[in-house]
Structure 1
Amino acid sequence: MFRQRKPKRFNYNPRFSNENEETSSDNEAQGSKEFLREWREARRGKRKSRPIISMRTLLIVLVLLLICMYVLERKYIQ
Protein backbone atom coordinates (compact mmCIF):
# COMPACT_ATOMS: atom_id res chain seq x y z
CA MET A 1 0.00 0.00 0.00
CA PHE A 2 2.66 2.57 1.05
CA ARG A 3 6.10 2.47 -0.49
CA GLN A 4 8.92 2.43 2.00
CA ARG A 5 11.73 4.89 1.44
CA LYS A 6 15.20 3.49 1.00
CA PRO A 7 17.65 4.50 3.71
CA LYS A 8 19.97 7.28 2.63
CA ARG A 9 23.61 6.51 2.16
CA PHE A 10 26.14 9.08 3.31
CA ASN A 11 29.76 9.24 2.30
CA TYR A 12 31.06 10.59 5.57
CA ASN A 13 34.76 10.44 6.33
CA PRO A 14 35.66 11.43 9.87
CA ARG A 15 38.04 14.35 10.14
CA PHE A 16 40.39 12.76 12.64
CA SER A 17 40.44 9.22 11.32
CA ASN A 18 43.32 6.89 12.18
CA GLU A 19 43.08 5.08 8.83
CA ASN A 20 44.48 7.81 6.63
CA GLU A 21 46.76 9.47 9.16
CA GLU A 22 49.85 9.47 6.93
CA THR A 23 48.15 10.83 3.83
CA SER A 24 46.22 13.46 5.78
CA SER A 25 49.38 14.79 7.44
CA ASP A 26 51.03 15.14 4.01
CA ASN A 27 47.96 16.95 2.66
CA GLU A 28 47.89 19.22 5.71
CA ALA A 29 51.56 20.14 5.32
CA GLN A 30 51.13 20.91 1.65
CA GLY A 31 47.92 22.86 2.30
CA SER A 32 49.49 24.92 5.07
CA LYS A 33 52.52 25.76 2.91
CA GLU A 34 50.25 26.87 0.10
CA PHE A 35 48.15 28.92 2.51
CA LEU A 36 51.24 30.64 3.92
CA ARG A 37 52.53 31.44 0.44
CA GLU A 38 49.19 33.00 -0.60
CA TRP A 39 48.97 34.91 2.67
CA ARG A 40 52.45 36.39 2.24
CA GLU A 41 51.68 37.41 -1.33
CA ALA A 42 48.50 39.10 -0.18
CA ARG A 43 50.35 40.99 2.56
CA ARG A 44 52.97 42.26 0.12
CA GLY A 45 50.32 43.65 -2.20
CA LYS A 46 49.23 47.24 -2.05
CA ARG A 47 46.95 47.96 0.83
CA LYS A 48 44.10 50.37 0.45
CA SER A 49 44.17 52.69 3.39
CA ARG A 50 41.14 54.76 4.14
CA PRO A 51 41.77 58.39 4.96
CA ILE A 52 40.96 59.30 8.54
CA ILE A 53 38.51 61.99 7.47
CA SER A 54 36.80 61.47 4.14
CA MET A 55 36.58 64.16 1.49
CA ARG A 56 32.82 64.30 1.92
CA THR A 57 33.16 65.08 5.64
CA LEU A 58 35.72 67.81 4.94
CA LEU A 59 33.40 69.46 2.40
CA ILE A 60 30.47 69.41 4.84
CA VAL A 61 32.64 70.97 7.57
CA LEU A 62 33.87 73.62 5.13
CA VAL A 63 30.33 74.54 4.07
CA LEU A 64 29.17 74.72 7.69
CA LEU A 65 32.14 76.90 8.57
CA LEU A 66 31.39 79.29 5.70
CA ILE A 67 27.73 79.50 6.74
CA CYS A 68 28.71 80.24 10.34
CA MET A 69 31.15 82.93 9.21
CA TYR A 70 28.47 84.54 7.05
CA VAL A 71 25.87 84.51 9.85
CA LEU A 72 28.30 85.95 12.42
CA GLU A 73 29.47 88.63 10.03
CA ARG A 74 25.88 89.73 9.32
CA LYS A 75 25.00 89.73 12.99
CA TYR A 76 27.94 91.80 14.34
CA ILE A 77 28.90 94.07 11.43
CA GLN A 78 25.60 95.68 10.51
Structure 2
Amino acid sequence: MFKQRKHRTFNYQPRFSEENKADSGLDEDAKSKDFISKWRAGRDSKTKVHGMMSMRILILALVLLLICMYLLEKKYM
Protein backbone atom coordinates (compact mmCIF):
# COMPACT_ATOMS: atom_id res chain seq x y z
CA MET A 1 0.00 0.00 0.00
CA PHE A 2 2.79 2.46 0.95
CA LYS A 3 5.65 1.72 -1.38
CA GLN A 4 8.97 3.22 -0.46
CA ARG A 5 10.77 4.89 -3.33
CA LYS A 6 14.17 3.49 -4.11
CA HIS A 7 17.13 5.74 -4.62
CA ARG A 8 18.16 6.20 -8.21
CA THR A 9 21.44 4.72 -9.22
CA PHE A 10 23.68 6.00 -12.01
CA ASN A 11 26.65 4.52 -13.78
CA TYR A 12 28.75 7.64 -13.43
CA GLN A 13 32.32 7.44 -14.61
CA PRO A 14 34.40 10.58 -14.16
CA ARG A 15 36.01 11.95 -17.27
CA PHE A 16 39.35 12.71 -15.67
CA SER A 17 40.26 9.86 -13.39
CA GLU A 18 43.53 8.07 -12.78
CA GLU A 19 42.29 4.97 -14.60
CA ASN A 20 41.44 6.95 -17.74
CA LYS A 21 44.88 8.59 -17.74
CA ALA A 22 46.56 5.19 -17.79
CA ASP A 23 44.33 3.99 -20.65
CA SER A 24 44.82 6.98 -22.90
CA GLY A 25 47.57 6.72 -25.50
CA LEU A 26 48.25 10.47 -25.76
CA ASP A 27 50.38 12.26 -23.26
CA GLU A 28 49.17 15.39 -21.48
CA ASP A 29 51.26 17.78 -23.58
CA ALA A 30 49.85 16.50 -26.88
CA LYS A 31 46.29 16.79 -25.54
CA SER A 32 46.79 20.39 -24.49
CA LYS A 33 48.33 21.35 -27.85
CA ASP A 34 45.43 19.72 -29.67
CA PHE A 35 42.93 21.59 -27.50
CA ILE A 36 44.71 24.90 -28.01
CA SER A 37 44.81 24.48 -31.78
CA LYS A 38 41.10 23.65 -31.91
CA TRP A 39 40.28 26.62 -29.69
CA ARG A 40 42.29 29.02 -31.85
CA ALA A 41 40.69 27.69 -35.02
CA GLY A 42 37.24 28.19 -33.54
CA ARG A 43 38.09 31.64 -32.25
CA ASP A 44 39.57 32.83 -35.53
CA SER A 45 36.55 31.87 -37.58
CA LYS A 46 34.44 34.94 -36.90
CA THR A 47 31.03 33.74 -37.95
CA LYS A 48 28.00 35.90 -37.30
CA VAL A 49 24.65 34.42 -36.51
CA HIS A 50 22.32 35.33 -39.33
CA GLY A 51 18.79 36.35 -38.47
CA MET A 52 19.63 38.34 -35.35
CA MET A 53 19.50 42.11 -35.18
CA SER A 54 22.51 43.99 -33.99
CA MET A 55 22.42 45.87 -30.71
CA ARG A 56 22.66 49.22 -32.51
CA ILE A 57 19.47 48.54 -34.49
CA LEU A 58 17.59 47.44 -31.38
CA ILE A 59 18.59 50.57 -29.44
CA LEU A 60 17.61 52.77 -32.40
CA ALA A 61 14.21 51.08 -32.62
CA LEU A 62 13.68 51.57 -28.88
CA VAL A 63 14.53 55.28 -29.08
CA LEU A 64 12.17 55.75 -32.05
CA LEU A 65 9.42 53.94 -30.20
CA LEU A 66 9.85 56.16 -27.14
CA ILE A 67 9.78 59.31 -29.31
CA CYS A 68 6.59 58.14 -31.03
CA MET A 69 4.96 57.37 -27.68
CA TYR A 70 5.89 60.83 -26.40
CA LEU A 71 4.51 62.60 -29.50
CA LEU A 72 1.26 60.62 -29.43
CA GLU A 73 0.79 61.37 -25.75
CA LYS A 74 1.32 65.12 -26.33
CA LYS A 75 -1.12 65.12 -29.29
CA TYR A 76 -4.00 63.44 -27.48
CA MET A 77 -3.69 65.18 -24.11
**Category of TM-score, reference length = shorter chain:** 0.3 to 0.5
Q: Which has the larger radius of gyration?
A: 1
TM-score by length of 2: 0.47
TM-score by length of 1: 0.46
